[in-house]
């Protein structure tokens, strides 16, 4: 039983006792004291004291100075793991650091339980922030990679409840800080990586002493967070509203925080949808569309949450409104393809394709990583070209791809996406072959068209394919071009002996054969495969890949 569990058991027992029971127990306990223990007992009744620890605070301070001066440290050596084929450091605790830390944390917890909050807060600060140096015993040098408390816990070098330690740290600071500074002090610690998931409710629930002025602090806390930028502040503000007044207060507060914390709209819509309050979710989503700047990416996140509610309500007009809003706030391919489900989709997708040409082609550095809720819509040049392809500007894309000469860069080039997409357009087979399935899987990954709703990713591609109409001349032209591209790619990969990429070439060759055959060439698939087998007759590994995929 640790200190916290012991004190919880004591509190539970004390609640069962009347005041008279407590007095009688103390008198009985007093009678058991002998000699000089009686004076100590009397003094404890007059003034609560901190019992001397096995390790004193002064000793801990001196030990931490030794850590900072590199007199106490971890050692390490490289260990080769033959089973997993990697090398990594093995750390050795020659100075019993972990043992000392465990004792120090026990003292810190005891200080909290005995309400010596200032000392507890300072001790937790030291223990959670001190870096431990590491000495490589083989190279006879200090390594750059220091170990901190969080890494020690993550690697299980020390067995501690890191979450409870963080809660105790925050609780001790709350209780020992003047009320004018409490909000800023707590926020500073809540920005720590190790404190990222801690909530105010958890801090308020710590014992042994009720949190003082909690209602007054909550008002100050909300006011502080409303004026503080950043995702962490937005998430903490969400928690504070929920703690103070539930989902209702969170929804009511979203509008006044729309400029600094549009994140509140996203959180509120999420909780409303999870609570099956679909009408309120849709209503708040529509409010958010009006209140959040169109260029904010988070506006699309709100639209994607709210549209789920509209789907449940079967409000087709609202579904269309949210679909369009999502695209114009985050002009991703999946949002573009979803426009194909709308009425008058040809006009709307064409308008959308024109819109993206004006978007910034680099990510705005106006807002730092900790404030992603204010990030703005943008699209890379390749993504813009890809949307032009889906807008059926095939001649433009063909010309661009002809300029990409490095076939070894296939997996990272636009051509590596466009060629498989042309195969999907030209393929007249109703069934999905092994080669086609493999290529679609890779396409979905590269296109990043992971489904937002119930449809499969392939459904969006099929929906788009139905809108494409090619003339016989275009079909012939692009089949010849695809044949040339696959031949060039195979020559680089197989001719160059890049064995790890043989499967990529084999999948494309088999799909080329299937597409050729579906467009009227008798035995087109087997003819294409046999031609490549004959051309690369000495490449048995490549021929095996062709056999596996065909």
**CA pair distance 313, 370, nearest whole angstrom:** 35
Cβ atoms 458, 450 nearer than 8 A: no
Question: What total number of domains does the chain contain?
Answer: 5
Q: Is 388 domain-assigned? A: no
Q: Are residues 494 and 450 in the same domain?
A: yes
Q: Is 341 domain-assigned? A: yes
Q: Output the six-digit token pair for 305.
A: 């949450």
Q: Are residues 88 and 193 in the same domain?
A: no
pLDDT recorded at residue 353: 95
Q: Is 392 domain-assigned? A: no
Q: Is 390 domain-assigned? A: no
Sheet holding 141-142, edge to edge: 86-92, 74-81, 134-136, 141-142
Q: Output the six-digit token pair for 174.
A: 């709350």
Which of 211, 245, 261 marks a domain boundary?
A: 261
pLDDT recorded at residue 49: 46
pLDDT recorded at residue 407: 76
pLDDT recorded at residue 286: 98
Q: Are residues 36 and 153 in the same domain?
A: no
Which of 14, 31, 49 marks a domain boundary?
A: 49
**CA pair distance 533, 538, nearest whole angstrom:** 9
Q: What is the DSSP string of 303-350?
A: HHHHHHHHHHHT-HHHHHHHHHHHHHHS--HHHHHHGGGSTTHHHHHH
pLDDT digits (tens), the chain, 550 positions: 555 566 667 777 877 788 788 888 888 787 787 766 776 677 667 654 444 445 688 888 899 889 989 999 999 988 765 554 445 788 999 999 999 999 999 999 999 988 999 999 999 999 999 999 999 999 999 998 889 999 999 888 999 999 999 999 999 999 999 999 999 999 999 999 999 999 988 888 876 677 878 899 999 999 999 999 999 999 999 999 999 999 999 999 999 999 999 999 999 999 999 999 999 999 999 999 999 999 999 999 999 999 999 999 999 999 999 999 999 999 999 999 999 999 999 999 999 999 999 999 887 665 566 899 999 999 999 999 999 999 999 999 999 999 888 777 888 889 999 999 999 999 999 888 999 999 999 998 888 877 666 677 788 889 999 999 999 999 999 999 999 999 999 999 999 999 999 999 999 999 999 999 999 999 999 999 999 999 999 999 999 999 999 8
* 484-519 CB burial, b ≥16 within 10 A, e <16: ebbeebbeebbeeeeeebbbbbbbbbbbbbbbbbee
Residue 10's SS3 state is helix
Q: Is 538 domain-assigned? A: yes
* 349-369 CB burial, b ≥16 within 10 A, e <16: beebbebbeebeeeeeeebee
Q: What is the DSSP string of 219-267?
A: HHHHHHHHT--SHHHHHHHHHHHHHHHHHHHHHHHHGGGTTT-THHHHH
pLDDT recorded at residue 83: 52
Residue 26's SS3 state is helix
Q: Is 380 domain-assigned? A: no
Q: Are residues 521 and 422 in the same domain?
A: yes
- Residue 41 sits at the vertex; the CA angle it makes with 36 and 42, to the nearest 5 degrees, is 100
Which of 12, 34, 49 marks a domain boundary?
A: 49
Q: Is 382 domain-assigned? A: no
Q: In this structure, what are the phi and psi dihedrals at residue 79, rounded to the nearest 5 degrees?
A: -120, 130
Q: Are residues 436 and 473 in the same domain?
A: yes
Q: Output the six-digit token pair for 181.
A: 């500074």
- Residue 104 sits at the vertex; the CA angle it makes with 98 and 108, to the nearest 5 degrees, is 140
Q: Are residues 540 and 438 in the same domain?
A: yes
pLDDT recorded at residue 308: 96
Q: Are residues 106 and 219 in the same domain?
A: no
The pTM score is 0.82
**CA pair distance 339, 324, nearest whole angstrom:** 7
pLDDT recorded at residue 36: 67
Cβ atoms 84, 78 nearer than 8 A: no
Cβ atoms 460, 449 nearer than 8 A: yes
101: nearest Cα among 136, 70, 128:
128
Q: Are residues 516 and 535 in the same domain?
A: yes
Cβ atoms 85, 145 nearer than 8 A: no
Domain of 96? Answer: 53-116+124-160
Q: Output the six-digit token pair for 99.
A: 């043992």
Report CA torsion sign: 264, 267, 270, 271.
negative
**CA pair distance 160, 149, nearest whole angstrom:** 10
State the CATH number of the domain containing residue 311: 1.25.40
* Consecutive H or E run containing 67: helix 57-68
Q: Are residues 228 and 268 in the same domain?
A: no
Residue 516, CA distances (Å) to 144, 242, 296, 476, 488 in order: 58, 60, 45, 10, 18
Q: How far apart are the first and last CA of the chain?
A: 64
Residue 190, CA distances (Å) to 108, 198, 359 in order: 19, 7, 36
Q: Are residues 90 and 209 in the same domain?
A: no
pLDDT recorded at residue 59: 87
Q: Are residues 434 and 542 in the same domain?
A: yes
Q: Are residues 420 and 539 in the same domain?
A: yes
Q: Is 525 domain-assigned? A: yes
């Amino acid at each position: 039983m640790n200190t916290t569990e012991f004190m919880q058991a004591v509190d539970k027992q004390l609640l069962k006792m009347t005041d008279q029971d407590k007095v009688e127990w103390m008198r009985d306990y007093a009678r058991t004291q002998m000699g000089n223990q009686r004076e100590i007992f009397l003094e404890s009744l007059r003034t609560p004291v901190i019992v001397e620890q096995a390790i004193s605070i002064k000793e801990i301070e001196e030990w931490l100075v030794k850590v900072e001066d590199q007199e106490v440290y971890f050692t390490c050596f490289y260990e080769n793991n033959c089973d997993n084929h990697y090398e990594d450091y093995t750390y050795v605790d020659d100075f019993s650091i972990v043992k000392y830390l465990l004792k120090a944390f026990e003292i810190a917890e005891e200080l909290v339980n005995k309400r010596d909050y200032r000392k507890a807060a300072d001790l937790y600060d030291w223990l959670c922030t001190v870096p431990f140096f590491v000495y490589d015993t083989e190279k006879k040098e200090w390594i750059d990679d220091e170990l901190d408390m969080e890494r020690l816990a993550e690697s299980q070098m020390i067995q501690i409840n890191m979450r409870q330690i963080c809660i105790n740290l925050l609780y001790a600071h709350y209780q020992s800080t003047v009320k004018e500074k409490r909000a800023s002090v707590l926020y500073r610690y809540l920005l720590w990586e190790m404190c990222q998931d801690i909530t105010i409710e958890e801090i308020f629930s710590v014992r042994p002493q009720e949190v003082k002025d909690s209602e007054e602090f909550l008002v100050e806390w909300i006011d502080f967070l409303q004026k503080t930028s950043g995702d962490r502040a937005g998430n903490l503000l969400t928690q504070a509203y929920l703690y103070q007044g539930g989902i209702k207060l969170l929804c009511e507060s979203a509008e006044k925080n729309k400029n600094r914390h549009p994140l509140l709209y996203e959180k509120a819509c999420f909780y409303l949808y999870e609570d099956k309050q679909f009408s309120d979710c849709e209503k708040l989503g529509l409010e958010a569309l009006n209140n959040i700047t169109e260029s904010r990416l988070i506006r699309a996140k709100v639209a994607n949450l709210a549209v789920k509610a509209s789907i449940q309500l079967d409000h087709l007009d609202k579904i269309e409104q949210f679909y369009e809003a999502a695209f114009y706030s985050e002009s991703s391919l999946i949002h573009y393809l979803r426009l194909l489900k709308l009425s008058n989709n040809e006009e709307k997708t064409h308008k959308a394709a024109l819109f993206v040409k004006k978007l910034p082609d680099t990510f705005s550095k106006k807002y730092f990583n900790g404030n992603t809720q204010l990030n703005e819509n943008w699209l890379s040049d390749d993504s813009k070209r890809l949307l032009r392809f889906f807008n059926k500007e095939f001649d433009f894309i063909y010309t661009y791809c002809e300029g990409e000469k490095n076939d070894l860069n296939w997996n990272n080039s636009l051509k590596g996406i466009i060629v498989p997409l042309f195969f999907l357009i030209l393929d007249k087979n109703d069934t999905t072959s092994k080669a086609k399935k493999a290529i679609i899987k890779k396409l979905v990954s590269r296109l990043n068209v992971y489904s937002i709703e119930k449809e499969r990713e392939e459904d969006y591609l099929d929906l788009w394919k139905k809108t494409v109409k090619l003339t016989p001349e275009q079909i012939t032209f692009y089949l010849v071009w695809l044949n040339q591209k696959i031949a060039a790619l195979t020559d680089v990969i197989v001719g160059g002996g890049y064995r790890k990429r043989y499967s990529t070439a084999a999948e494309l060759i088999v799909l080329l054969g299937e597409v050729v055959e579906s467009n009227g060439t008798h035995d087109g698939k087997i003819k294409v495969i046999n031609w490549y087998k004959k051309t690369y007759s000495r490449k048995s590994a490549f021929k095996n890949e062709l056999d596996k995929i065909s």
